[in-house]
Amino acid sequence: MKKLMYLLALASVLCIHVSAQSSQEDSPENLRKYVPLLPSVKAQMWKIDPKIGYAVHNVGGGVYVISDNGWQSAFLVTDEGVIVFDAPASFGKSIPSEIAKVTDKPIKMLVYSHAHKDHIGGSAAFKNIKDLRIVSLDSVSDFLKEMDDPNRLVPNETFKTTKTLTLGSQTVELTRHDYHSNEGDLFIYVPQAKFLMAIDSVTAGYAPFQGFDITTNFHEYLKVFDELLAYKFDTFVGGHLTSQGRGKTSRLPKSSQWTSTTRLNGFITTWTKLPLQLTLRKRSERTMNSYCSRCS
């Protein structure tokens, strides 16, 4: 009994400490320390009708990108149907109706980039689509079965490392990487459209989010930039914040300190190893502080 009382008292003290710390972090004085969004970043944001809350851009090759200036997804229109890449919780419910405005072709596939619900938590909007193929890594499927989340449909087609989807005259290359989530992440590549999607990897035109998008494997994260540059792409979607990146790439000369440079939408991200030097800009938006709670 004494032990139980001790544990309860300790828990109470910890809660008070966490609450006080949270209040201090959210104080007006501390909030003023956050650097505002750069004008160059705001300039890249899409013009979105507030009554709609998102916009759809045709980026060519049958690919359309959807964004609410916070999250991004995309879909590919082929002569035999449509493949959707992610269904974010914020606007996923509207994706089927937006596709219907572009084509009368049926939605055939839904591809999950990874398991986090902020990117696929709108997939319930697709539950009544007949014979829909929901494609993901097997590890993502296992996780979603365990979570039993009605807002994240369980995949019915899985694979371990690589898979090529074919629909009509278009192909989509899916490749596993492990730079972000515990269950694995996908590079989604449409070669005919030169379109590359790697969610929660690089934010075009901006610095990485807090905690490098809460990466669970920083060693793999450092490899992402060279891995992205191995693809020939004209359009890049990283899943968050600004407009999609364009395929202008440049690479600094290799030095004894190993440098990888990626240029997306005019923003250069440079990583130097031995020693590792990281220069980051804090986001003014506090939304990413609660990012973890929306992911699992």
User: pLDDT digits over 197-228, tens only?
Assistant: 999 988 776 666 666 767 878 888 888 888 99
- Residue 186 pLDDT > 90, yes or no? yes
User: pLDDT digits over 61-85, tens only?
Assistant: 999 999 998 899 999 999 999 999 9
Q: What pLDDT is attached to residue 8? A: 55
Q: What pLDDT is attached to residue 221? A: 87
- Find the mean pLDDT for residues 279-296: 42
- Find the mean pLDDT for residues 82-91: 97
Q: What pLDDT is attached to residue 94? A: 98
Tokens of 40: 């160059």
- Residue 278 pLDDT > 80, yes or no? no
Percent of the chain with pLDDT over 70: 65
- Residue 114 pLDDT > 70, yes or no? yes
Tokens of 258: 């190993």
Q: What pLDDT is attached to residue 12? A: 59
- Find the mean pLDDT for residues 164-184: 96
- Residue 51 pLDDT > 60, yes or no? yes
Q: What pLDDT is attached to residue 244? A: 58
* Beta-strand relationship, 245-246 and 235-237: antiparallel
Of 11 and 224, the one with more pLDDT: 224
Highest mean pLDDT among 36-40, 41-45, 48-52: 48-52
